[in-house]
Structure 1
Amino acid sequence: MRKSMIATAVLGMSVASTSFAATQIEWWHAMGGANGEKLNEIVKEFNDSQSKYEVDPVFKGTYTETMTSAIAAFRAHKQPAIVQVFEVGTATMMAAKGAIYPVYKLMKDTKTGFDPKAYLSSVTGYYSDVKGNMLSMPFNSSTPVLYYNKEMFKKAGISAPPKTWEEVETVSKKLLASGAKCGFTTGWQSWVQLENLSARHNVPFASNDDGFTGLDTKLLFNGPLQVMHITKMREWQKSGIFSYGGRRSDSAPKFYSQQCGMYTGSSSAYGGMTRNAKFDFGVSSLPYWASEVKQPDNTIIGGASLWVLQGKDKAQYKAAAAFLQFLSTPKIQAEWHQFTGYLPITHAAYDLTKKEGFYQSHPGTEAAVIQMTATQPTVNSRGLRLGNFVQIRDVINGALESVWSGKETPQAALDTAVKRGDVLLRKFEKTHN
């Protein structure tokens, strides 16, 4: 009887040790709702695909909350192995010397298969150093597009979505004449109407190649192109062509409720569109000014990337590398892209999505990818690398709202925003030099 009990105990210990043999790491993220559920599915698929590693996904709230939590945890030596950080936090993460383990170095040190050329350069450029080395792994990358209500277009006698801002004005007038309350509204006004406006027209948003080549950067978004565009939008607001609805995606309901016939917002809003828009809608590229350029450049990305943090052991880093490799596989990337509307980060995932016929069965969903890959990124269209950018965006939003309310002229508002933003850049420079 005693031998049987001992054998059972030994067997129990054996089972327990086996079940805890996998190297465990945490991934802190900011994906809620349906995208968060999909993320958990992907992690489970990785965990179930092998027995050496186990990833624990931990939802930490908004992007800002997630990054702030990770910084605090690092100082307390309780950081996760991987953290998801939104694109405006890139400069902050890069400047955190000794805190990050660059992805390109991680993959090399762990001898994990990794080919930088496999990724879309317009996506990885944002997260690479000046030598082209990837510092973090893109995961959920988006870019702004134009959504349009096909039913409202048909009623107004409009046959195709506008490609230029000049056409947006013409189309909007037709929509208003047919009974629409507004022509278009926009989400993420700083990102879409200033940051991407600048990139699309190959105009600098800031000095030092938009912050890529130095910390002594100065903001330049109060130039002729930007002032002209915001002036035009102010005129459009007065006539009903444009209707402001909030700083982030707060204006989307104006499109869902069919008040506005068009909406400029993130490609990642596609999933929300399919759930909330009770009408036939289309997706097209972000407009450009034909009076300014013959061929627009690529837009820049939003979303977030995955950063690996220092302070873990070799086994945990092998787990992190294996997981990042898994996330980059064509199957996973195509699946994530098709479900969420985020960009596929590799050429193989894009090709697989085309092969599966997704773009044919979901017209317009390829617009974002084409927009990002049609041209080679320039120093003005690969992205922004600015310190304290979260706060700078708040300054920009406040300035634009003062224009929409008629309190300030576009030039005065943007001049003030540049001055206030430069103060924030100097604070960042002083802290990280």
Structure 2
Amino acid sequence: MPFALYMLGLAVFAQGTSEFMLSGLGPDIAADLDVSLSTAGTLTSAFAVGMVIGAPVMALLSRRWPRRTALLGFLLAFLLVHVVGALTGSFAVLLVTRVIGALANAGFLAVALVAAVGMVGPNAKGRATSVLLAGVTLACVAGVPGGALLGQFFGWRSAFWAVALVSVPAVLAILWSVPGGASGGVSGTEAAGVRGELRALREPRLVVTLLLGALVNGATFCTFTYLSPVITDVTGFPESWVPALLALFGAGSFIGVTVAGRFADARPVPFLLTGAVALLAGWALFALTAGNPVAAVVLVLVQGALSFGVGSALITQALYAATGAPTLSGGFATAALNVGAAIGPALGGLALAAGLGHRSPPWVSALLVALALAVGAAALRKRQSPSGNATLCNSPQVNSATQRRG
């Protein structure tokens, strides 16, 4: 893999840390800026909304920028708003920085996804995607707990400074190592009109893949968001264990994206079907055995691996399916994942509010994966149709096999 790809992963690590670190900083921010805890919680919601809206919009705005320019612009904006956030004494200003930071994060990830696959061979999109998403998983393993520790010892502002500092070497590395050229890193981007790219994004196989990505990611973040009460109130672990188990989930996530990068390119359909069935069984088993400490620890690791393995493979398939939209494909893939990240916790919260107990989030996750399997199975049944538009996977291997059968 090119060195520049790992530097993009470093930037994604900083951005992932920023996205998730507020889960451990909310009380300190509320006390320091004299707002309620629920008001401080809007910082997380603002970031999520910015990610959903920003991914396609920023990808569209930057589609004619040189690739290096787009990546540097988004990353510098992300860095600067964290400096402002670390300095401000106004909650309103901090809220605005979270929205702008989310827009910059979404734009960077959208461009980075299509730029990354442009740096590698046509059959290595899965490996390139896994390098980028490894940055998110490492943020769960090290960045988020590290941000929480910084907040405990040096105040919440130190976590914002740390994110800005981690972004600096990525800025320099992108400046030196990322090639120039079109934002998407794919030939013909300039010639492809916006309407042409949007038409490509309406293809059924891409819509199905994005829907599956949203459902699987919704399942992931449904349980991840409420993992703390599950493992304390159901499993019986003390609160001091929560950071370690969150890090364990992140370690599993890193394993998952690494494995997906090696196998999802060559055999996408078997990988996705097997992984999704295992993921469904794992969430159900977690709900049933959450009271057993050994089972809970094992399943936190396993479900982290399965969730991000299947999720990253679906992102790869979205990029394969959207060859007619080389710039906007990454934006819509990013938006789909963040739609899931918003809907999943909301559904888990509704289950808890309905009095279904702390085991209900894993059950909701299981239902979301079951729905994804049903949608995927319906798409696969249409795979032999004359148009072939509903094909779930569109990797070079699948295409070549289809041509041989024809």
TM-score, reference length from structure 2: 0.26
Q: Which has the higher strand share?
A: 1
- Which one has the bigger helix percentage? 2
Larger Rg: 1
TM-score, length basis structure 1: 0.25
